[in-house]
Chain A
Amino acid sequence: MKADCGTLRLLAALVCLCLFPLTTSEARSQQAIVPPQNLRVLDAPSDAGGGLIVLWSEADYDAPDVRYQILVGEGAEKRMVAEFPANSHYVRDVKWPWWARVDRPDVHQFNLKSGKGLELKNGTPYTVTLAVVKGTVRVEAPSLRAIPGPNWVNWNQMNNLLLVLLFGAVVLGSIRRAKQRDIFLRRIPGLDAVDEAIGRATELGKPILYLTGAGDMSEPATIAAAVILGRVAKRVAAYETDLLVPHRDPIVMAVCQEITKQSYLEAGKPDVFKEDSNFFITTDQFSYTAAVDGIMLRRKPAANFFMGSYFAEALLLTETGASTGAIQIAGTDSDHQMPFFVTTCDYTLIGEELYAASAYLSREPIQVGTLRGQDLGKGFILVVLALGTILATGGVLFDTDWPRIMLDLFKDLK
């Protein structure tokens, strides 16, 4: 094999020497065809096995009209599995982050994977070689053997792991901190609107309607709705206004009943607490809606609160409420219903504002800490966006590659 190569190389050199005087102007692409240098075949990293990578140095003759061929075989017999122009397949073309790169960017890299027409079994040695073809000239590099095998770590995803660990630490740390001392939360303007609406209902001597949404007690929006109900009930108790809370979920009703009772107690008005202010209607979406609409039309509440998660019924509820002239305050994380809440209600707590309002009121360390942790996460992303844009722009302006050192960290490359 070695001898073969030597002869070929010699032959190629001779051919080139003969041609040289004719081709001085097209020098580069007409370089001598020599076997590829520094050929290496390795087990592909970060995979479940069944993959090999072939690496070799760039050559002077790398041009579109020269082609590389990859040959693979189990024994001595090899067959061609890929053929491509010589100016393609570099390390820099492989979509791997910089830390997972196996060599310098200008080295050639070809990934062999088990798939259509090729089967690479783990643990089996394979013979791989590379040939260069130009016109009728074909030279082959010495064959190499490699064994594909599975790996325990996918290095391409390490940035993902790093971010999970970082964010996890931030969230858990914030919760711990919130347990030790007070964390600042800004006041949510929507809460003023809540107080105002209760005040107005008292003036008019009309009841207040409070809905907790369609979710069950496992949904963050429902939990927030229950917390805010506590606040509303406390105010309502102080003013001795009527409170109506129709429910769609028996468990949510039971929880809310407790919360309401507690609020009346805290307001020093346990005697005005009515057991039936929280009541269950039905689980069916539209039956519930029809029933609540009926309550709105008959009792004409002065203020309607829609907190929690809502589906298509949202519009039916708020439209009827708006037509009775009630002040309407909504708070929901159901983004599909948000437009309707914003246009039909006087004030809407949008998405996370609902959780924030609940954390603000409850001061519960887990809620407050989580909110703080998420804020820090958002802050981190904001910094990445700003810095990343500057670096990316710089990279284009100055035609450099080094901004990748940071940018790759925030890409999903696998």
Chain B
Amino acid sequence: MIFLRRQLPLLITFVTGVLFAAQYYVPHPRSEFMLTEVTKWLQIIGGFALVLGVTSLFHIHAVKIRRKEPGWGYSLVLYAGILGTIAAGFSYSFAAGQWVNGKETINGIMTAFGWVYLNMMVPLQGSMFALLAFFIASAAYRSFRARSREAALLLIAAVIVMMGRVPLGEMLLPVSGDVTQWILNVLNAAVRRAILIGISLGAIALSLKIIFGIERAYLGGGKE
């Protein structure tokens, strides 16, 4: 049993990891066939992973409601949102004459599910992030200080780019557009390239550690 619980997962990771890294260098149709099949599987398993992602939310809010913790009413709203959307997703569209089955439109006719999406989810998510515009403004006034030479450099570059990316800036100070282009294409590209190389080395090191069973955090979860 210990083998099944502990060694087997590590063995699977090692074998699949080495196999699919090696696949990259093998153009033979058999190796390509294996890639086709297994990526198809991964796609489907990825769908199951999504289910895992949302279940903890169900649990957390269920606990809140059961214990009547402060603000449990909002948890009810959340549940209502989930159930309402699911109901809309599986309702019957009389206008289109068929079951909705998770389609936003059927033959060009908007379904109840599409309505919930366009008139609730889109404005809600959009507005949530639009709030940030206001907070950037207040932060610009209250906290974006040139605390050090480095921060000062950052702010100067920021101001130039902010000018160079809008028509008014380019009109008032035509050179700002060119300077912005140069900053983005040369200075910014250099830094991002170095960061990209660094991150890539880190990602490869992590993947190698996973394959060789040195890094096992991903196995977490279930008790032994």
Contacts and interface: CB of A to CB of B under 8 A. Distances in A.
Contacts of B202: 220, 352, 355, 374
A157 interface: yes
A383 interface: no
Interface stretch (A22-30, A42-50, A71-79, A234-242): A42-50
B150 interface: yes
Given A48-B29, A153-B26, A342 B60 contact: no
Given A223-B217, A378-B198, A344 B143 contact: yes
A346 interface: yes
Interface in A282-335: 282-283, 286, 312, 315-316, 318-319, 322-323, 335
Given A172-B208, A172-B212, A152 B28 contact: yes
Given A351-B198, A366-B209, A283 B56 contact: yes
Contacts of B212: 172
Contacts of B136: 315
Given A218-B217, A218-B218, A319 B138 contact: yes
Interface stretch (A126-134, A139-147, A160-168, A262-270): A160-168
A366 B214 contact: yes
B205 A374 contact: yes
Contacts of A194: none
A323 B32 contact: no
A150 interface: yes
A21 to B, nearest CB: 55
B187 interface: no
B32 A48 contact: yes
Contacts, number: 122
Contacts of B214: 172, 175, 366
Nearest to B136: A315
Given A366-B215, A374-B202, A378-B201, A342 B151 contact: yes
B151 to A, nearest CB: 6
Contacts of B208: 167-168, 171-172
Interface residues of A, number: 53
Contacts of A154: 25-27
Nearest to B221: A251
A194 B44 CA distance: 45
Contacts of B195: 335, 351
Nearest to B147: A346
B154 interface: yes
Interface string B30-69: 0010000000000000000000000011001000000000
B143 A150 contact: no
B201 A160 contact: no
A125 interface: no
B132 interface: yes
B197 interface: yes
A199 interface: no
Contacts of B139: 315, 318-319, 322, 340, 343-344
B103 interface: no
B158 interface: yes
A217 interface: yes
A218 B221 CA distance: 11
Interface in B187-224: 195, 197-199, 201-202, 204-206, 208-209, 212, 214-215, 217-218, 220
B2 interface: no
13 contacts: A151-B27, A154-B25, A167-B204, A167-B205, A218-B217, A218-B218, A282-B60, A343-B143, A344-B139, A344-B143, A377-B201, A378-B197, A378-B198
